[in-house]
Amino acid sequence: MKTCKPNATPVNTNAKLSADVGPPVADPTQYPRLAGALHYLTFTRPDIVYSVQQVYLFMHDPREPHLYALKRILRYIQDTIDLRLHLYPISTLRLITYTDADWGLS
């Protein structure tokens, strides 16, 4: 992946994935393995959530265009490797609630 050509976007906006287009992938175990790794990455990379969800739709019968879309997401990650969502624990937690106690009578 270090030598791949990077992509500026995670999905091809001019193409729509279809369930019955293209030949089946040569190694059917590679697709769920890569898709699962990308799904795990969505916790810190919300910018790829939609594109990962789209490739997950074809997990039951992956085809070459689906694998190409999955690899496009990987190339996008290579291009934006420094982007991430940092989640830090906070020491104080403040919970604020509002209620309309009179809602049932009005």
Is 66 within the bounds of a domain? Answer: yes
Contact residues for 14 (Cβ-Cβ < 8 A; gap 6+): none
27 falls within a domain: yes
Structural domain for 55, as ranges: 1-6+23-106
DSSP string for 1-14: -TTSPP-SSSS-TT
Q: What is the DSSP letter of 63?
A: B
Tens digits of per-residue pLDDT, 60-95?
888 888 888 899 999 999 888 887 777 788 788 888
Identify whether 69 is part of a domain: yes
68 part of a folded domain: yes
Domain assignment present for residue 14? The answer is no
The answer to whether residue 95 is domain-embedded is yes
Give phi and psi for 63, each to the nearest 5.
-120, 170
The answer to whether residue 17 is domain-embedded is no
pLDDT tens-digit profile of 17-46? 878 888 888 888 889 999 999 999 888 888
* Residue 105 pLDDT exceeds 70: no
Domain count of the chain?
1
**CA angle 31–17–11, rounded 5-degree value:** 80
**Is 16 domain-assigned?**
no
